[in-house]
């Protein structure tokens, strides 16, 4: 094989490595005599040539560049005086260099230069993905082969916009999404054209619905499913607009907005790979319809805008994907199963799939805490608590508490360092964490995380609609408009009063007050009790609940009340068509149940705490021997009897509240409300006055015994609690009933 001519500019190996862009190899010159005259081996670079497929045995073997230093000298970066093995030189041959000989090292030439790795194609792949995302805007969902039947999707509750038809459901003008991610105003004709609902072929088989899903239908947008959101502010993100509601209009009766545009299925989309897009939009609508007023951890305009523009397809948005999937999982576990027409097994599989994706993200290392991670932690804690894994829920809460402190959410001064949207989310998350801390402590007698000395400066959440909050600033709501989040502000205020009571109680258990300090503490509790009872004075009209009508709420229940209540519960959880869910969409009615039941819980905690202090005061004044346990218990019993009327009034008021709020609304408040009612009912178990001796022996005396108003209320309360427990059972996934 002939050697190629050498390049004129090659001055040596280094120059050749720089100027030649192709792979080179070292070949030894055939002129050995010329090599011997120079006194050192001459190495040149030649362009690599493919060997001919010939049986020539004299073909030269390819050689790589030999290192000019031994391994030890090369590692120490010193000059080696030993010629490499196989070189032709006039110098004397040495088996070891002077450095290796001096250091008693093994002089070897085993180092092999490594080849250059492949180029980094990461940026190239990103460009290809962006081009593919642009080109697949008009790509339809993949369809199954003609020989295979398409998989069936579960039947979703048809929104009002799908039932009314295009002519009546669509307004005169509509706002549609353009391919570039912005928003443009469409003509009435464009708005009334139905969008095709594509088939999804990547889903597992699901039960066949009673009626087939039409191929031409409207899918409501998460931002436009409800009409209670007033016109948004002029911010950097244009939103869909709607007419502002009237002062006392119920959100359940407002007209829906425009429909949601078509989304092409993309297998590499992280959301499409977990949950079908139509079901995803339906669950997000459920969150904003029923859960948002209780857990407002999202900024609705920005969240729905990011969902519309496929934020999950951008690089580095794993946190956003985990947030969306966490919202899906928490919504499904908190709401009764009749809200989405899927079997229990399918709902459980979807919840676990979304929950595991979110947990996988949370398990990754991170450098800086973010409010989004705090929201994900809180939502996952809620999933754990509603699926009977309280230990995991409390562990997640402890992690999120440390995260909240790292964000500085317990300091009011930190909120001015962020834009209005970020500041609002941080404040809401703080009060959600604060309320959960007080609930855990009151129900399960757990130590407090948040103490008033550390977070007393944090202001209550603002009573402002999300549509009036943007990254640019806040605007004033129309006069007379009641924000859907007004109830969250009131319940946060009640939790603050709970925190003050629990904080004082834990301090007094460690160091019981006496003398003047005890009198001061009792005076503080009296003022705190008054603040609790007057917390809802002057609240907006939609939040007013008149539960103090005498006699109406404690009347004996009708004989068929139990059967009717049980039928209503099972209809709500099992039969999606038989339950009227429009009533539950009223934000204010859902918040009434949460606020007024929490108010009675705080009221009862203060009464218990005050009785403990009064008993301690009585024991101190009588100078009872600490070892005289019987005497101490007798004093506590007498003190408790002194507050018997107040305890009985708590039972009466709580039962009145439960009677005035529909069972559907109580079910939407989920298991936390059941725990609050159970705590009060179980604590008042011994508050009933015992019947006189002999009444159980004489039937006539038993008949003559007059049932007091409080006894009748507590009896009815226990009956009501049994049905609340049945709600708790129907939330569980562990029973054998297949629905």
Q: For the segment 295-322, what is each residue's pLDDT rounded down to a tens digit? A: 999 999 999 989 888 899 899 999 999 9
pLDDT band at 218 (very low <50, low <70, confident <90, very high): very low
- For the stretch 508-552, pLDDT in tens is 988 989 889 999 999 999 999 999 999 999 899 889 888 765 544
Higher-confidence residue of 644 and 197: namely 644
In this prediction, residue 86 carries a pLDDT of 80
- Domain ranges for the chain, please list them: 13-103, 545-731
Across 93-121, average pLDDT: 83
CA distances to 181, 237, 421, 603, 609 from 471, rounded to whole Å, are 19, 9, 6, 39, 44
Across 468-488, average pLDDT: 90
Lowest-confidence region among 124-128, 447-451, 656-660: 124-128
Higher-confidence residue of 367 and 730: namely 367
- For the stretch 356-374, pLDDT in tens is 999 999 999 988 999 999 9
Q: Tell me the HSE value of 273 on the side-chain side, using a 13 A CA sphere.
A: 9
Two tokens, residue 152: 């069936």
Cα 576 versus chain centre, distance: 26
Residue 474 CA to residue 726 CA, distance in Å, equals 44
Angle at 736 between CA 732 and CA 738, to 5 degrees: 90
Q: Are 295 and 432 in contact (CB under 8 A)?
A: yes
Residue 217 CA to residue 194 CA, distance in Å, equals 6
Looking at every residue in the chain, the average pLDDT score rounds to 71
Lowest-confidence region among 201-210, 391-400, 644-653, 715-724: 201-210
Cα 238 versus chain centre, distance: 25
Residue from 691, 608, 619, 683 nearest 643 by CA? 608
Lowest-confidence region among 47-61, 160-174, 603-617: 160-174
pLDDT band at 723 (very low <50, low <70, confident <90, very high): low
Q: What is the CA radius of gyration of the chain?
A: 37
- Of 264-278, 384-398, 500-514, give the range with the top mean pLDDT: 500-514
Task: Assign 379 to helix, strand or coil.
Answer: helix
- Of 179-183, 390-394, 587-591, give the range with the top mean pLDDT: 390-394
CA distances to 110, 373, 384, 534, 653 from 495, rounded to whole Å, are 73, 24, 22, 14, 19
- Of 100-104, 129-133, 559-563, give the range with the top mean pLDDT: 100-104
pLDDT band at 698 (very low <50, low <70, confident <90, very high): very low
- For the stretch 658-674, pLDDT in tens is 778 777 777 777 777 77
DSSP 185: E
Residue from 451, 548, 552 nearest 496 by CA? 451
- Of 8-22, 222-236, 455-469, give the range with the top mean pLDDT: 455-469
Cα 19 versus chain centre, distance: 57
Q: Report the 3 state secondary structure along 629-674.
A: HHHHHHHHHHHHHHCHHHHHHHHHHHHHHHHHCCHHHHHHCHHHHH
Maximum distance among all alpha carbons in the chain? 137
Q: Is the pLDDT of residue 464 over 60?
A: yes
Residue 712 CA to residue 718 CA, distance in Å, equals 10
DSSP 93: P
Residue 363 CA to residue 354 CA, distance in Å, equals 14
Q: Is the pLDDT of residue 64 over 50?
A: yes
Strand partners, 184: 176
Phi (first) and psi of residue 110, to 5 degrees: -95, -10
Two tokens, residue 661: 């709020």
Q: Are 613 and 508 in contact (CB under 8 A)?
A: yes
Across 679-707, average pLDDT: 51
Q: Which residues lie closer than 8 Å to 351 by C-beta, 6 or more apart?
A: 328, 329, 332, 333, 383
pLDDT > 90: percent of the chain: 26
Q: Is the pLDDT of residue 260 over 80?
A: no
CA distances to 208, 319, 322, 366 from 372, rounded to whole Å, are 37, 7, 9, 13
Q: Are 278 and 151 in contact (CB under 8 A)?
A: no
pTM for the full predicted model: 0.63
- Of 451-460, 544-553, 646-655, give the range with the top mean pLDDT: 451-460
Higher-confidence residue of 170 and 656: namely 656
In this prediction, residue 627 carries a pLDDT of 72
């Amino acid at each position: 094989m002939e050697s190629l001519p050498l390049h004129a500019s090659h001055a040596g190996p280094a120059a050749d490595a720089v100027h030649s862009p192709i792979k080179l190899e070292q070949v030894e010159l055939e002129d050995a005599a010329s090599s011997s005259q120079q006194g050192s081996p001459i190495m040149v670079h030649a362009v690599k040539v493919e060997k001919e497929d010939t049986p020539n045995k004299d073909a030269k073997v390819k050689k790589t560049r030999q290192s000019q230093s031994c391994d030890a000298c090369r590692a120490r970066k010193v000059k080696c005086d030993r010629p490499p093995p196989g070189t032709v030189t006039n110098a004397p041959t040495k088996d070891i260099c002077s450095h290796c000989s001096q250091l008693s090292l093994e002089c070897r030439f085993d180092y092999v230069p490594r080849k250059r790795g492949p180029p980094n194609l990461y940026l190239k792949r990103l460009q290809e993905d962006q081009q593919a995302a642009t080109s697949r805007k008009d790509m339809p969902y993949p369809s199954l082969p003609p020989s295979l039947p398409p998989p069936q999707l579960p039947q979703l509750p048809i929104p009002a916009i799908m039932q009314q038809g295009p002519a009546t459901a669509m307004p005169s003008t509509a706002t549609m999404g353009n391919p570039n991610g912005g928003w443009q105003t469409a003509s009435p004709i464009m708005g009334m054209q139905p969008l095709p609902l594509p088939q999804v072929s990547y889903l597992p088989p699901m039960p066949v619905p009673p009626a087939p899903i039409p191929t031409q239908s409207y899918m409501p947008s998460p931002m436009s499913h409800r009409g209670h959101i007033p016109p948004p502010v002029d911010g950097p993100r244009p939103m869909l607009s709607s007419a502002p509601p009237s002062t006392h209009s119920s959100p359940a009766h407002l007209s829906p907005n425009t429909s949601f545009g078509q989304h092409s299925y993309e297998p590499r989309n992280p959301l499409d790979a977990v949950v079908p897009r139509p079901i995803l939009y339906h669950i997000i609508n459920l969150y904003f319809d029923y859960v948002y007023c209780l857990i407002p951890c999202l900024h609705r305009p920005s969240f729905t805008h990011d969902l519309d523009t496929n934020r999950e397809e951008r690089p580095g948005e794993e946190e956003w994907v985990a947030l969306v999937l966490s919202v899906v999982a928490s919504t499904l576990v908190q709401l009764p199963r009749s809200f989405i027409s899927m079997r229990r097994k399918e709902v459980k599989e979807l919840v676990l799939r979304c929950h595991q994706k979110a947990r996988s993200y949370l398990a990754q290392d991170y450098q800086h805490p973010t409010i989004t991670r705090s929201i994900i932690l809180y939502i996952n804690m809620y999933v754990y608590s509603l699926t009977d894994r309280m230990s995991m829920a409390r562990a997640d809460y402890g992690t999120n508490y440390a995260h909240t402190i790292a964000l500085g959410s317990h300091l009011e001064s930190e909120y001015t360092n962020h834009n209005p949207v970020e500041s609002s989310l941080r404040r809401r998350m703080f009060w959600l964490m604060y309320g959960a801390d007080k609930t855990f402590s009151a129900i399960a007698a757990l130590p407090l995380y948040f103490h008033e000395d550390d977070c007393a400066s944090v202001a209550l959440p603002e009573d402002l609609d999300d549509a009036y909050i943007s990254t640019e600033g806040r605007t004033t709501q129309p006069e007379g408009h009641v924000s859907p989040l007004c109830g969250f502000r009131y319940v946060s205020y009640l939790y603050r009063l709970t925190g003050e009571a629990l904080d004082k109680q834990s301090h007094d258990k460690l160091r019981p007050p006496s003398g003047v300090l005890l009198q001061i503490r009792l005076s503080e509790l009296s003022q705190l009790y008054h603040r609790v009872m007057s917390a809802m004075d002057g609240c907006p009209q939609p939040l007013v609940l008149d539960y103090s009508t005498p006699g109406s709420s404690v009347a004996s229940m009708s004989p068929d009340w139990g059967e009717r209540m049980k039928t209503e519960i099972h209809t709500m959880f099992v039969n999606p068509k038989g339950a009227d869910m429009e009533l539950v969409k009223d934000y204010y009615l859902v918040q009434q149940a949460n606020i007024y039941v929490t108010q009675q819980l705080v009221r009862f905690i203060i009464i218990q705490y005050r009785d403990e202090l009064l008993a301690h005061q009585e024991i101190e004044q009588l100078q009872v021997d600490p070892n005289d346990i019987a005497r101490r218990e007798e004093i506590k019993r007498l003190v408790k009897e002194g507050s018997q009327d107040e305890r009985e009034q708590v039972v009466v008021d709580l039962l009145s509240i439960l009677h005035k709020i529909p069972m559907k609304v109580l079910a939407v408040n989920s298991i936390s409300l059941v725990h609050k009612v159970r705590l009060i009912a179980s604590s008042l178990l011994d508050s009933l006055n015992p019947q006189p001796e002999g009444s159980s022996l004489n039937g006539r005396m038993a008949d003559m015994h007059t049932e007091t108003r409080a006894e009748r209320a507590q009896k009815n309360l226990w009956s009501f609690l049994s049905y609340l427990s049945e709600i708790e059972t129907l939330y569980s996934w562990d029973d054998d009933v297949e629905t």
